[in-house]
Amino acid sequence: MSPADTGPDGPGSGTRAGSGTGPGAGSGAGADGAAGAARTFTALVNPISGGGTAWQYWQPVAGRLSAAGATVHSVRTTGREDAVERAERAAAQGHIVVAVGGDGLVRDAAEGVVASGGVLAIAPAGRGNDLAKALGVPREAAALAELLLRSAPTALDVAEVNGVIAPGNVYVGIDSMATRIINDNRWMPGLLLYRLAPVRAIMKWRAVRYELVVDGETRRLTGHTVIVANSGAYGHGLRIVPSAVPDDGELDLLTVGDGPRRQVVRFMNKVKDGTHVDRPEVTVERVRTVTIDADRPVPVCVDGDEVTTLPAEVTIRPGALNCLVPEGS
């Protein structure tokens, strides 16, 4: 039997017991983080992540965890609500919840884990894996299994937007239009799609009149993008907001003001080396709360998906997410 064939949550779920004896076995291991302590993991696997390879990617990791004496339950998720509910339930049982997928699944699993005060781990099996990269989470099976078995939880900040937990970033504007294009064209190769989508978004774009309430102060901005960043990384490996740090108790607000399309193209080209933040139309500041509204409907994207609408109220929740990350990340 593989480490993920049958399980405690009915058809389609999976389990493989190591030294544990079922749900709750190893409870407390997620909190103490002691090296060698028996741990129980519930892996939530997004079956469409990585072009449908996430389940296969997880198998050698799960095998190493089981061989080390851990208990591993592996479950295919069916959507956002399912992932949030399963994460919350598993975390409440004392299991370490492993998000096996991309940034969207990490977001959904984090929401459930935060609600239960549990521990999250990431197995980067998506196309972008931007939060995992920002945190230094390894993708190779042996290194990832070692991290899951030995690492102590680290308290990370999250943003909350209209009740949705965002470990990474919230963005409204050209970036969110590009994300909509990406999600509508999943059949294309990931890196190519992430490079073509912004170009297509720019071709049909016109500036938005935003109304922002920043830490209680109302502002109006005509511009192209508003980003509220916790990790600062998205877009398939780009550091869009380089100053953002996910454990400093603050959010970073980046805005891109109005200008011709060629200016937007120059901004995007400069993102690759981080000098885009020096452009005159760009502002960056540290904030704790931001409410975003606009003069027309614009997608609100949270870590790769449209999960809410304008107006979007974003707040910081310092240290709300306990996560297994490499030491010093």
What lies within 8 Å, CB to CB, of 239 at 6+ separation is 232, 233, 271, 274
Return d(Cα 145, Cα 141) in angstroms, integer: 6
Identify the three-state secondary structure at position 115. helix
Residue 173 above 50 pLDDT? Answer: yes
pLDDT of 160 > 50? The answer is yes
Q: Kindly report, residue by residue over 36-69, the tens digit of the pLDDT.
A: 459 999 999 999 999 899 999 999 999 999 999 9
> In 125-237, at which residue ranges do the beta strands (DSSP E only) sit?
153-161, 164-166, 169-173, 208-214, 217-229, 233-234
Burial profile 296-317: b = 16 or more Cβ within 10 angstroms, e = fewer: eebbbbbbbbebbebebebebb
Predicted local distance difference test score (pLDDT) of residue 312: 98
DSSP 4: S
| Confidence (pTM) | 0.88
Specify burial of residue 284 (Cβ count, 10 A radius: 0-12, 13-18, 19+): middle
pLDDT in the model for residue 20: 35
For residues 184 and 286, the model is more confident at 286
∠ CA 182-186-187, nearest 5°, is 135
- Please give the pLDDT value at position 31: 42
The average confidence (pLDDT) of the chain is: 89
Distances (CA, A) of 237 to 194, 209, 282: 10, 29, 20
pLDDT tens-digit readout, 61-115: 999 999 999 999 999 999 999 999 999 999 999 999 999 999 999 999 999 999 9
Hey, what amino acid is at 322?
N
Rounded distance, CA 255 to CA 226, Å? 5
pLDDT higher than 90, residue 273: no
pLDDT at 268: 79
235 neighbors 128 (Cβ within 8 angstroms): yes
263: number of Cβ within 10 Å: 16
More confident residue, 259 or 142: 142
Dihedral (C-alpha) 207, 209, 211, 217: value to the nearest 10 degrees?
80
Span 114-131, average pLDDT: 96
Please say if the pLDDT value at position 287 is more than 90.
yes
Strands 289-294 and 208-214, by their bridges, are antiparallel
**For the ranges 1-15, 58-72, 266-280, the one whose mean pLDDT is highest:** 58-72
* The one-letter amino acid at 308: T
- Over residues 316-326, the pLDDT tens digits come to 999 999 999 99
| More reliable by pLDDT, 186 or 117 | 117
Average pLDDT over residues 4-26: 39
122 pLDDT higher than 50: yes
Digit-coded pLDDT (tens) for 210-265: 999 999 999 999 999 999 999 999 988 889 999 999 999 999 999 999 988 788 87
The predicted structure's pLDDT at residue 37: 55
Residue range 258-285: average pLDDT?
A: 88
The mean pLDDT of 15-34, rounded to a whole number, is: 38
